[in-house]
Amino acid sequence: MSTLVAPSRRPAEASDARSIAERAPKRGRSPERIAASLTLVAIVAAAIVALADSGISIPSMVESWGNAERFFARVGPISFPEPAQLLYLTALTIGLVLCGTLLAAVISVPVAYLAASNTTPGPGWRAFGRFVTVLTRAIPDVVLAMVFVLMFSLGSLPGILAIGIHSIGMISKLFADAIEQIDEGPRLAIRAAGGSKWQEFTSGILPQVLPSWVATVLHRNDINLRGSVVLGYVGVVGLGMEMSFAFKSLNYSLGLGIALVMFALCIVMEVVSSVVRSAMLGVAPTGRGLGDRLVRRVRRSRSGSSSGLDTPPSSAARPAGTPSSAARPATSLEAALRRPWDALRIRNTVWGWVALAVVVGSVLICNIQWADLITFWAKVPAIAVQFWPPDFGNYDAATMFGAMGQTIGIALAATLLAIVVSVLVGSLAARNVAPNGTVRASMRFLLVVIRGIPEVILAIVLIVITGLGAQAGTLALAFGGIGLAGKLIADSFEEVKSGPERALRATGASRSQVYASATLPQGMRALIGHSFYLLDTNIRAATILGIVGGGGIGYYLLNAGQGSNYQVVTAIVLMILVTVLVVEGLAMWMRRVFR
């Protein structure tokens, strides 16, 4: 460092304040930051107006609460499908979701490679990668399923493809983010040693991003499990379809029974995710979800009962090998070729085979019509023609743009409501903010429950207490948004550096002061990111708005799909795509400016 302080300089401590104030630099703000701040303020203001406009009225909801009670009274005791059928459906759902997620993961690798700024071959490729990312996200999975049902045999393949292609959006985005965050050192070293691009990727990048990639895929798998409900509405098999049939025939008790099974599955999946993650990454889980906590508890009890040393497995293995290889002559190098079967290796191998078995089992149970993958090409032109050119059908452009505007309004209002509540709930669900474990656990549980409630039930409860319309739509989206944003916010807050928090605690700052001065500023960027992600999700959330008669573009999309007016579907998807692109652009700008 060149400039130097002179610690020796000893300004009179009492040197008059004025002169310090004068010598202090003027506070500079970049015009871009001001512009971004103003944009943000404008968006929030628009959201407030939209919220006021949605006509949410607490008194009338209170008045109508009896309707909800009468509805629940009619639901009666929860029932389940017959065990054999339930087992089959459950296995099928898991298989379908797993295949879909894996498909998305495989396709996402090259997409992410093109989209990441440090690996992309050029700006054109990067734009292409990013576009694929946004496009796959913007096309609702329901629409994809609609198309694939026409191209493929009814059954699992349309579902797998719909889940798979829609998931590419999120997975490739997070994959690319992970690539951009790697330490460039190892990659540089491989290049310096004469390695090829391909080798740079496999040896320099892959090992670094693998843990994050695995976490992403497992997270998406969880989302897809819940999402398979939606696909049920367009005839994609599994628990989701069974549930949608039950709700359609007003058999709420069976529908709720299936919803409970799915909820239990999601929890089991979360536990499994956590186990797999910790096994694959070889690190103790950082402790976010239920599963992580379980794993940690098991580990603790195990380590407590064993030698009592919390020695990492790698160092346990080392003392056995190191001295011998150093001391013995070359012949024993041959022996050293064989990696010893220590506990770690056995565990990893077993896990590997289990994983493989699960994947193979998934593919088998899905009973995929492989031949379709060859024959469907013949159908593509005929189907493609039905989707082109985009057209508004019987509706005029004003109606459609009005509906798009309505969707944006509801999305903004719902996002605002959800974020306000999520910041509160999410903060209290973060280990470093919650006053105690009980608060944190109950908030986490609340978030899981919110995510586990079926959309249809939520919609119906809201309709009977608020009536049809935007009010129910806004509340439904906001409610669902809390489940998503609350979890993301809690995770992000838990991931902030704990040092500054500790430093402030050491100055005697109170809990709320530490939160405001250390946790919040560090989590702000993530918070902005999550808010825009939620807005994006809400704009795309067609199904629930359609159900509650909340208006908006989603109704027209579903209706056009149901009525097979595919040109209208194309037109609406394009409108949504443009909107989502704008939101994505805003989000990227904000994240850059408010670093």
Partner 1 sequence: MNETTPAAPDVVIDVEGLTKEFGSTVALRDAALRVERGEIVVLLGLSGSGKSTLLRHLDGLDTPTSGSVRVLGQEVPRLQGRRLRALRSRIGFVFQQFELVPSLTVLENVLTGALAELRGPRLGLWSYPKRLKLTALGHLDRVGLLDRAYQRADTLSGGQQQRVAIARALMQDPEILLADEPVASLDPESSEQVMALIREIAMDAGLTVVCSLHQVDLALSWGDRIVGLRHGEVVLDTPAEGLSKAEVMEIYGRVATATAELEAIERELVDELGAADAAAPEHSAAPEPLVAAGPNRTR
Partner 2 sequence: MKLSTKTWPALAAAAMLAVGLAACASPSTADDSAAGDSGAKFAVDENTLVFGVVPDSVDTETNYQPLMDYIAAETGKTVEYHESTDYAALIEAAVAGKIDVASFSGFTYVTATNNGAAITPISSIITEEGQEPGYYSQAIVPKGSDITDLAGFAGKKVCFVDPSSTSGYLFPSYNLLNEGIDPKTGVTPVFAGKHDVSVTKTGEGVECEAGFAEDSEVAKSDKVEVIAETMVPGAPIVVSDTLPEELKTQLTEILGEVTVDEIVESGVESADSDAFRSVFFATLPVDDEYYDTIRDICEKTEAEQCQG
CB 257 within 8 A of CB 277: no
Q: Which amino acid is at 457?
A: I
Place of tokens 């899981």: 448
Between 411 and 558, CB nearer to partner 2: 558
Q: Which amino acid is at 158?
A: P
310 contact choice in partner 2, partner 1, none (CB below 5 to 8 Å, kind-dependent): partner 1
Burial of 258 (0-12, 13-18, 19+ CB in 10 A): buried
Between 78 and 91, CB nearer to partner 2: 78
526 binds partner 1 (CB under 8 A): no
Q: Which helix (H) or strand (E) holds 163?
A: helix 156-180
CB atoms within 10 A of CB 130: 21
533 contact choice in partner 2, partner 1, none (CB below 5 to 8 Å, kind-dependent): none
504 binds partner 1 (CB under 8 A): yes
250 contact choice in partner 1, partner 2, none (CB below 5 to 8 Å, kind-dependent): partner 2
> How many Cα atoms within 13 Å fall on the side-chain side of residue 379?
13
326 binds partner 1 (CB under 8 A): no
> Would you say how long the chain is, in residues?
595
314 contact choice in partner 1, partner 2, none (CB below 5 to 8 Å, kind-dependent): none
Residues 6+ positions from 244 with CB-CB distance below 8 Å: 229, 232, 233, 456
Between 250 and 360, CB nearer to partner 2: 250
SS3 call for 259: helix
505 binds partner 1 (CB under 8 A): yes
- The CB-of-172 to partner 2 minimum distance in angstroms stands at 29
20 contact choice in partner 1, partner 2, none (CB below 5 to 8 Å, kind-dependent): partner 1
CB 92 within 8 A of CB 157: no
Between 19 and 57, CB nearer to partner 1: 19
If you ran DSSP here, which 8-state letter would residue 353 be given?
H
Of the residues 110, 121, 207, 312, which one makes contact with partner 1 according to CB under 8 A: 312
Between 181 and 249, CB nearer to partner 1: 181
Distance, in Å, from the CA atom of 355 to the CA atom of 277, rounded to the nearest integer, reads: 12
Tokens of 277: 């993650």
Of the residues 55, 185, 352, 521, which one makes contact with partner 1 according to CB under 8 A: 521
Distance, in Å, from the CA atom of 111 to the CA atom of 179, rounded to the nearest integer, reads: 12
Residues 290-309 within binding reach of partner 1 (CB under 8 A): 304, 308-309
Q: How many residues bind partner 1 (CB under 8 A)?
A: 52
CA dist list (Å): 568 to 230, 390, 557, 562: 21, 6, 8, 11
CA dist list (Å): 113 to 133, 176, 275: 12, 7, 28
516 binds partner 1 (CB under 8 A): yes
Contact code string over 393-422 relative to partner 1, x by CB under 8 A: ------------------------------
581 contact choice in partner 2, partner 1, none (CB below 5 to 8 Å, kind-dependent): none
Between 197 and 511, CB nearer to partner 1: 511
Of the residues 185, 282, 499, 563, which one makes contact with partner 1 according to CB under 8 A: 499
Tokens of 287: 């402790």
Burial of 349 (0-12, 13-18, 19+ CB in 10 A): exposed
CB 116 within 8 A of CB 179: yes
463 contact choice in partner 2, partner 1, none (CB below 5 to 8 Å, kind-dependent): partner 2
- Please identify, among the stretches 12-20, 95-103, 457-465, 528-536, the one whose residues bind partner 1 according to the rule CB under 8 A: 12-20
528 binds partner 1 (CB under 8 A): no
Whether omega for the bond prior to residue 389 falls within 30 degrees of 0, making it cis, is: yes
Q: Which amino acid is at 15?
A: S
Between 118 and 301, CB nearer to partner 1: 301
549 contact choice in partner 2, partner 1, none (CB below 5 to 8 Å, kind-dependent): partner 2
CA dist list (Å): 385 to 45, 420, 560: 43, 45, 16
Residues 116-175 within binding reach of partner 1 (CB under 8 A): none
Distance, in Å, from the CA atom of 491 to the CA atom of 275, rounded to the nearest integer, reads: 18
450 contact choice in partner 2, partner 1, none (CB below 5 to 8 Å, kind-dependent): partner 2
- b/e sequence 62-81, b meaning 16+ C-beta within 10 Å: eeeeebbeebeeeeeeeeeb
Between 14 and 374, CB nearer to partner 1: 14
- The CB-of-433 to partner 2 minimum distance in angstroms stands at 21
Between 78 and 316, CB nearer to partner 2: 78
314 binds partner 1 (CB under 8 A): no
Between 75 and 109, CB nearer to partner 2: 75
Residues 15-74 within binding reach of partner 1 (CB under 8 A): 15, 17, 20-21, 23-28
85 contact choice in partner 2, partner 1, none (CB below 5 to 8 Å, kind-dependent): none
SS3 call for 515: helix
Between 271 and 316, CB nearer to partner 1: 316
Distance, in Å, from the CA atom of 142 to the CA atom of 149, rounded to the nearest integer, reads: 10
Query: 213, 243, 216, 211: which is closest to 229 by C-alpha?
Result: 243
5 contact choice in partner 1, partner 2, none (CB below 5 to 8 Å, kind-dependent): partner 1
End-to-end CA distance of the chain: 25
Distance, in Å, from the CA atom of 150 to the CA atom of 161, rounded to the nearest integer, reads: 12
Between 247 and 493, CB nearer to partner 2: 247
Residues 449-478 within binding reach of partner 1 (CB under 8 A): none
- The CB-of-392 to partner 2 minimum distance in angstroms stands at 10
Residues lying near partner 1 in the complex (CB under 8 A) are found at 1, 4-11, 13, 15, 17, 20-21, 23-28, 304, 308-312, 315, 319, 497, 499-500, 502-510, 512-513, 515-518, 520-522, 524-525, 595
